[in-house]
Every structure is written in structure tokens, then in C-alpha cells.
């Protein structure tokens, strides 16, 4: 590993109001798996965009095998052997696998030859794919395979992967890691961006840690604890959420054998879902996105109407009630999509506080709004959840993702719910804020509320929940106690590796 493939020297990139990268330097060796770690907004994405030619650095230089390297556009970077798998898949749903791959190549062969090569390469690396399928019909894991194969067909010297595992089941992660290790053994370097520390410890040779755009340290992940790395990322010591022993009370919410068709054409219908949560219990619901999470939240929050006795809140049927009526009874929900679903982007925080808090916080009086009380409520949320904003009059859109998430969760927690349903409570939130949100959920449960936490972050679910169930293609698995649950068991509950069974036939 003495050879250096890419040397990054003092790269700086500033956007109005923020320095995304501040004189960042590090080297990537030939055949090295190099991790790039950091919080949201630490500048990881900007850095890789500069390497890939999407963004031009303000100053500093890069050396590729000792030669100055300044790609003016991605085409040039690809020509020099840099390939990138994007965080948000850069695929075209309506096009076929082969067409998608052709789009990512400089000089694609005719479709028939390309399809044959896709088959060959995909089988060599254990990532089976049918080149004629439409990408819109593929699972998240299969879509990622499309991206990886698109890169592999160009024999890259450096493969950049931006948070590749966030949408995969544990089994799919294993397959991905085997592929990456095979690539590494062939001499391909990999720049691996993630904030999942355990993965990095398993896979990567070196890690560079960014904080607020600066390189704050390099470490060998296998010899560093996850906690130390997290603290380097955050810059302060982390507080692990504390679980206090608590007794479970009566059944707070019960769904038995509910089947609901999805309201959207590409959604997943719920099939015979059984769900029970008791007072003081946190039920974690895992599963890969798009397996019925949105529909389940809709059924619980009241956005999707069901037969009256299908959803029982403390023994009373609420299936036909809408969200406002359910709020009155103490069943609150915070959906996943912050801008547009959980909060109205262009309305102020006060107005957003009113939108869900009006009933329980008595912010309206015979149809007229009590602005003073609403502002007070918004200020309490900002205070209690450390939401960083100049004040409640600011638009929800102006908050960063993590801050808005704290506001959205705080708004529901402060209304003293009997049952709280949250979907992806810490999605896109940095480690410190995520810990605060998890602590708030634990405290809420300790006070006797039932909490249903839908999340794709398994570590999070293991950390806070008392029992665990997984959604797979609209079916909810049986609930199991979190204590003693292994990753393999969880993976099987989530449906294993999607599509792999088909591949071996």
C-alpha cells in the first residue's frame, strides 16, 4: 500500500455563508479502502463531488498517480478511472437496466453486446441482474447493483461510494462487502463514505474524519472504537441514551389482521398486520424503505381510513377517525418526510406548531387561533429540544434537516401523547441530535406512553426499543424481545437478501 493513487492537497471550497471544505488533505493508496467519515454537513459530499468533477475547488490541488488532476466535468473524471455510486441513486426509473448503464458510459457498445457484458460482469461479482428489466421495478439492493455494475464496466481505479448501505438489508450489505473486497484484491481503491461506524471498522483500511469541512484526524478503523470515532466526528463526548427499567402497562394500541391497499400506485399494500403495543413500551419496526412503512404510519395516524374496529386505542375503536380526532384521544404521529408531510415548508414554526398542536394544546378557540399561545408552544419546543433557529417566526424550510427533525419530534412529544408513532425519527440527523431525540422517546415511554418507532436504522432500534418487528412487502413479522436478538435473525425478519434467491436458481 506504499503506492499513492490519489493525493488530495489543501482542497478548499466555500459556498456563500459556509466553508464546505477547508484545506482538506489526505492520500488514498492503491488497493486501499479509505473511509470518509463525518456528520451531515461536514463536507463529505462536496469533497467527493470535487474528485468526480461535479464541483470545482476554490483552491488546492489533487494528484492522480503523481500527475495533477483537475477534472472539469464527470466525463473527464470517468476517463481517468474515477467512478462513483451515488447516495441518492442516480438512476432513471422508466428506462431499462441496460439503458441506465449505457448512460453512465462514455462510449457504450451496441445494446446487445452491452447486455451480454452486463450479464458477465454481474455474475463475476455475484450481483445477478437482468439487463432488460425496468429499473423502476427493482428493489433498492438491485438498483444499487445497477450503479455498481455501471461503474465496474469501466474498470475504475478509484470507486467512490456515498453511503451505499443505508437502504440495504444486512444480508445485502454482506454481499456488497464481498464485492468490494474482491475489487480491492484486484487493486481497485475505494473511497467509502458512511456514518455507520461498525461497517467502517469491518471494511476499511484507513479513515479520514471531517468536521465542519476540516480534516480532524486519520485513524485505522479496526484499531479504533466506534465511540472514539464518533467523538472525533462530533468533537465532543457523546451521551448514550439511558434506558431506565420500566414496567409495561395495559395494551395501548392494538391492530389485528388488518389488510389495507396502498393509496398510491407504487406503494405497498399492508397484508394481515398484527400489532400490539403496551403502555411504557417502545416497539421498533424495522425493514427496508418501501415495504409498507408509509402505509403503516398512515393507518396509525388516521390518514388512511380502516374498518372501525381494526385499530383499537386503549380498547376503543378508532379506525374510522381522522388524524385530528385521534390526536384528541392521544394518538399522535410524526411522519418521515419532514418538508411537506411533517411540516409545511413555507410556514413559520409557530404556524407549524399550530397545525398539529391546536387540539391538545388548546391553541384555538371556537375556530379562531390563539397566536400568543401558539407562539409560546413553539418557543417551548425550541427551548426543550435545543432547536437552533433565530426564533419561532422563521420558516420551517430555513432550518437544517436535523433541527427541523428535532422540532417535529419535539412538537409531538410535548403534547403528552398516550401513543406516539414516529417514522425515521433520526433520519439525516447528526449523532448528537439523534441521541437527544432517542433520549426524548425513552423519557416519554418512561412516563407511561406507548411509542412505535418505525426506522431503517437497526442500531437505533436495538438501542431504544423493547420489542422489535420487521415489515417486509407489507407483512409485519411477529414481535420479538429486543434483548438477545441477533443481526442474522433481524435480517431474516426483514426478508433476507431481496432477489438473491432468484439468482441462484
Partner 1 sequence: MDLSAINPVLLIASLMVAATPLLLAAIGELVVEKAGVLNLGVEGMMIVGAISGFAISVETGSPYLGFLCAAIGGAVLSLLFVILTQYALANQVASGLALTLFGLGISSLMGQSYVGIKPPATGEIWLPILSDLPVIGPIFFQHDPILYFGIALVAAVWVLLKYSRFGLILRAVGENHDAAHALGYKVVRVRTLAILFGGACAGLGGAYISLIRVPQWTEGMTAGVGWIALALVVFASWKPWRALIGAYLFGGITVLQLNLQAAGVAIPVEYLAMSPYLITILVLVILSADKSSAPAALGRIFHASN
- Under rule CB under 8 A, residue 102 binds partner 1: yes
- Under rule CB under 8 A, residue 266 binds partner 1: no
Q: Considering just the CA atoms, what is the radius of gyration of the chain in Å?
A: 24
Q: Give φ, ψ of 44 to 5 degrees.
A: -65, -50
Residue of 1, 70, 103, 316 interacting with partner 1 (CB under 8 A): 103
The DSSP string of 426-439 is TTT--HHHHHHHHH
Residue of 58, 99, 364, 418 interacting with partner 1 (CB under 8 A): 99
Q: CA-CA distance, 493 to 476, in Å (whole number)?
A: 9
Q: Nearest distance from residue 458's CB to partner 1, in Å?
A: 28
Kindly write out the interface string for residues 39-58 of this chain, putting x where it contacts partner 1 by CB under 8 A and - elsewhere: --------------xx----
CB-nearer residue toward partner 1: 53 or 287: 53
* Choices 69-77, 225-233, 281-289, 483-491 (CB under 8 A): range interacting with partner 1: 69-77
Q: Nearest distance from residue 165's CB to partner 1, in Å?
A: 20
**How many other C-beta atoms are found inside a 10 Å radius of the C-beta of residue 312?**
18
- Under rule CB under 8 A, residue 104 binds partner 1: yes
Residue of 9, 59, 61, 73 interacting with partner 1 (CB under 8 A): 73
- Under rule CB under 8 A, residue 495 binds partner 1: no
CB-nearer residue toward partner 1: 99 or 416: 99
Residue of 2, 17, 68, 94 interacting with partner 1 (CB under 8 A): 94
Q: What is the DSSP letter of 395?
A: B
The answer to whether the CB of 345 falls within 8 A of the CB of 339 is: yes
Q: Nearest distance from residue 172's CB to partner 1, in Å?
A: 22
Contact residues for 344 (Cβ-Cβ < 8 A; gap 6+): 351, 352, 355, 396
CB-nearer residue toward partner 1: 103 or 478: 103
Kindly write out the interface string for residues 282-321 of this chain, putting x where it contacts partner 1 by CB under 8 A and - elsewhere: ----------------------------------------
- Under rule CB under 8 A, residue 14 binds partner 1: no
* Choices 93-101, 251-259, 294-302, 477-485 (CB under 8 A): range interacting with partner 1: 93-101
CB-nearer residue toward partner 1: 14 or 95: 95
Compute, in degrees rounded to 10, the torsion defined by CA atoms 62, 65, 69, 71.
-110
- Under rule CB under 8 A, residue 75 binds partner 1: yes
The DSSP string of 439-486 is HHHHHHHHTT-EEEEE-S-HHHHHHH-SEEEEEETTEEPPPEESTT--
The answer to whether the CB of 65 falls within 8 A of the CB of 83 is: no
The answer to whether the CB of 279 falls within 8 A of the CB of 254 is: no
- Under rule CB under 8 A, residue 120 binds partner 1: no
Nearest to 30 by CA among 157, 176, 194: 157
Query: How many chain residues are in contact with partner 1, going by CB under 8 A?
Result: 19
Q: CA-CA distance, 281 to 449, in Å (whole number)?
A: 7
Nearest to 167 by CA among 353, 424, 388: 424
- Under rule CB under 8 A, residue 226 binds partner 1: no
Q: Nearest distance from residue 112's CB to partner 1, in Å?
A: 12
Q: CA-CA distance, 48 to 52, in Å (whole number)?
A: 6
Using CB under 8 A as the criterion, which residues of the chain lie in contact with partner 1 when the complex forms? Answer: 53-54, 73-75, 78, 86, 89-95, 99, 102-104, 108
Amino acid at each position: 500500500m506504499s503506492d499513492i493513487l490519489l493525493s488530495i492537497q489543501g482542497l478548499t471550497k466555500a459556498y456563500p455563508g459556509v466553508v464546505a471544505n477547508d484545506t482538506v488533505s489526505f492520500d488514498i493508496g492503491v488497493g486501499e479502502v479509505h473511509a470518509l467519515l463525518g456528520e451531515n454537513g461536514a463536507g463529505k459530499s462536496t469533497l467527493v463531488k470535487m474528485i468526480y468533477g461535479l464541483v470545482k475547488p476554490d483552491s488546492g490541488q489533487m494528484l492522480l498517480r503523481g500527475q495533477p488532476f483537475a477534472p472539469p466535468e464527470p466525463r473527464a473524471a470517468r476517463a481517468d478511472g474515477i467512478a462513483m455510486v451515488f447516495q441518492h441513486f442516480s438512476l432513471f426509473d422508466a428506462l431499462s437496466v441496460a439503458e441506465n448503464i449505457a448512460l453512465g458510459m462514455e462510449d457504450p457498445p451496441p445494446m446487445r453486446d452491452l447486455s451480454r457484458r452486463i450479464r458477465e460482469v454481474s455474475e463475476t461479482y455475484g450481483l445477478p441482474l437482468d439487463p432488460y428489466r425496468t429499473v423502476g421495478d427493482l428493489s433498492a439492493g438491485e438498483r444499487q447493483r445497477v450503479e455498481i455494475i455501471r461503474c465496474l464496466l469501466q474498470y475504475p481505479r478509484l470507486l467512490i461510494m456515498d453511503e451505499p448501505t443505508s437502504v440495504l438489508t444486512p444480508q445485502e450489505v454482506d454481499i456488497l462487502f464481498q464485492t468490494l473486497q474482491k475489487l480491492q484484491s484486484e487493486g481497485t481503491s475505494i473511497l467509502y463514505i458512511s456514518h455507520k461506524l461498525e461497517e467502517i471498522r469491518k471494511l476499511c483500511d484507513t479513515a479520514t474524519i471531517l468536521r465542519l469541512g476540516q480534516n480532524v484526524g486519520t485513524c485505522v478503523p479496526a484499531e479504533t472504537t466506534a465511540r472514539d470515532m464518533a467523538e472525533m466526528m462530533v468533537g465532543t463526548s457523546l451521551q448514550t441514551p439511558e434506558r431506565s427499567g420500566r414496567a409495561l402497562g395495559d395494551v395501548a394500541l392494538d391492530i389485528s389482521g388488518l389488510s389495507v391497499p396502498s393509496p398510491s400506485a407504487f406503494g405497498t399494500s399492508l397484508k394481515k398486520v398484527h400489532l400490539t403495543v403496551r403502555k411504557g413500551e417502545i416497539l421498533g419496526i424495522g425493514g427496508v424503505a418501501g415495504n409498507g412503512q408509509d402505509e403503516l404510519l398512515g393507518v396509525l395516524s388516521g390518514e388512511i381510513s380502516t374498518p372501525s374496529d381494526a385499530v383499537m386505542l386503549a380498547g376503543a375503536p378508532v379506525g374510522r377517525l381522522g388524524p385530528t380526532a385521534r390526536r384528541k384521544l392521544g394518538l399522535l404521529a410524526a411522519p418521515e418526510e419532514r418538508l411537506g408531510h411533517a411540516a409545511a415548508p413555507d410556514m413559520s414554526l409557530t404556524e407549524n406548531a399550530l397545525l398539529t398542536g391546536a387540539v391538545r394544546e388548546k391553541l384555538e378557540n371556537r375556530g379562531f387561533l390563539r397566536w400568543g399561545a401558539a407562539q409560546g408552544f413553539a418557543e417551548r419546543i425550541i427551548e426543550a429540544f435545543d432547536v437552533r433557529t433565530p426564533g419561532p417566526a422563521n420558516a420551517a424550510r430555513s432550518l437544517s434537516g436535523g433541527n427541523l427533525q428535532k422540532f417535529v419530534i419535539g412538537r409531538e412529544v410535548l403534547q403528552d401523547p398516550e401513543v406516539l408513532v414516529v417514522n425515521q425519527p433520526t433520519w439525516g440527523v447528526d449523532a448528537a441530535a439523534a441521541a437527544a431525540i432517542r433520549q426524548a422517546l425513552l423519557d416519554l415511554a418512561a412516563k407511561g406512553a406507548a411509542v412505535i418507532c418505525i426506522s431503517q436504522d437497526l442500531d437505533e432500534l436495538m438501542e431504544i426499543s423493547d420489542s422489535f418487528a420487521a415489515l417486509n412487502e407489507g407483512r409485519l413479522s411477529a414481535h420479538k424481545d429486543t434483548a438477545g436478538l441477533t443481526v442474522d435473525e433481524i435480517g431474516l425478519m426483514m426478508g433476507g437478501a431481496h432477489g438473491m434467491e432468484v439468482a441462484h436458481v
